Structure 1
Amino acid sequence: MILLGEETLIQYKTFVKWTDTLRDLDDHLWSSPIAEGKASPADIISHLQNWDHYLIHKVIPAVRKGEGMVFPDFDSFNKQAYEYARSGVSKTRLLDEFKQTRLQLVDLLLAEPDVAAKPVPANGLAYCPHTNTPYSLLYIIHEFREHDIHHKHQILSVI
C-alpha cells in the first residue's frame, strides 16, 4: 500500500530515530560486512545518505524546473558511497551527515507538496512498470522507505 503525502514523508523521517541507535554499535560491527561480499553498516548508511543527497541536489531542482527525474547507474553511484564510508570518516560524523541530509530532504518536500506530488518521469518512464503508478517524488520516497526497511533488516541480522 502506498501512503499519501505527509504520512509517507513522516515515516521516511522517523528512520533517523532507528539509525541513531547505531551510535552505540561496536566499531568492529560498524565496519564489518553484514555477510560475505556484502556492505557493512557504515557502507549502508553512507549509501542511504548519498541517495538522499542526490534527491536534494539533483532530483528536486530538476522537478522544480519541470524536468524528469534522472537516476545514475546504481552500481557506480553506490560504489562512491562505500568508498566514502571506508575513507576514515567516523561513525558519529557519518550518522550525523545521514540524519542532517534526511531531515533536510523531508523538510524540503513538506515545504513544497506540489513539487513532491507532481507526476514526472523517472529515467524516461512515466509509470512504475511494477505498479503502474505515476512516478513522483512521493512515489520515489515510498520506494526508498521500503529500501530503508530492507537495509534495516540486513543490519539487524548481524547485531
Structure 2
Amino acid sequence: MTNFNHENDHSTRHETLLRDRFELLSAYIDGEVSAAERQQVEEWLSTDPSLQQLHRRLLHLQHAFETLPAPASQQSSQQIADAVFERVERSSRWKWLVGGFAAAATVAVAAISTLVPGEQSMIPQMAKERANDAPIASTKSETEPLLIALDKPLVDIPKAPVAPDAPRKNLPAEDTRSN
C-alpha cells in the first residue's frame, strides 16, 4: 500500500512538472518570460528532445493561427455601429414612453380617488368620534403631573414580628421589694 501511494505521488509530481514546463514553454514562445526563465527554457531545448518536439509543434500551431483568414464581414463596422446605436435609441424611447404612461395613469387614479366622496373613498381618513360614545372619565386633571411617593407605599406592608428581648442571665436581678 505504501508503494502505491509513493507511485501515485511520484506520478502527480511528474504531471505537475510537465504542466509547468509546458506553460513556461508557451510563455517563452509568446515572449512573456524573464531573462532567467528564458535561459532555463533554452537550456531545456538544447538537452531535451521531447521538449524540442513540443516546441516545434507549438510554433507550427502559432503560425497556423496567425495565417488563418478572418471571416469577411457582410457589413462594414460603421453599419454595425449605426445599427447598435439605433437599437439603443429605440429602446430608450420605448422606456420613456412606458414610464410616461405609467406616471399619467398614477396621476389619473389619484385625481379620481380624491373626487369620489363617500365611505368607499380611497383617501386615508382619520378616525371620527361617534356621538353616542361617552368620553372616558378621568379622576385627575389631564395637566396634573404623575407623582410617585417613594416613602409612602400605596399598600400597607406588614412588619415582621420581632422576638421579645431575652432575659439577661448574667446580670443580678433587681430587687423589686420596697425597703
Please report the TM-score for the alignment, with normalisation by the length of structure 1: 0.24
Higher relative contact order (CA 8 A, sep 6+): 1
TM-score normalized by structure 2? 0.22
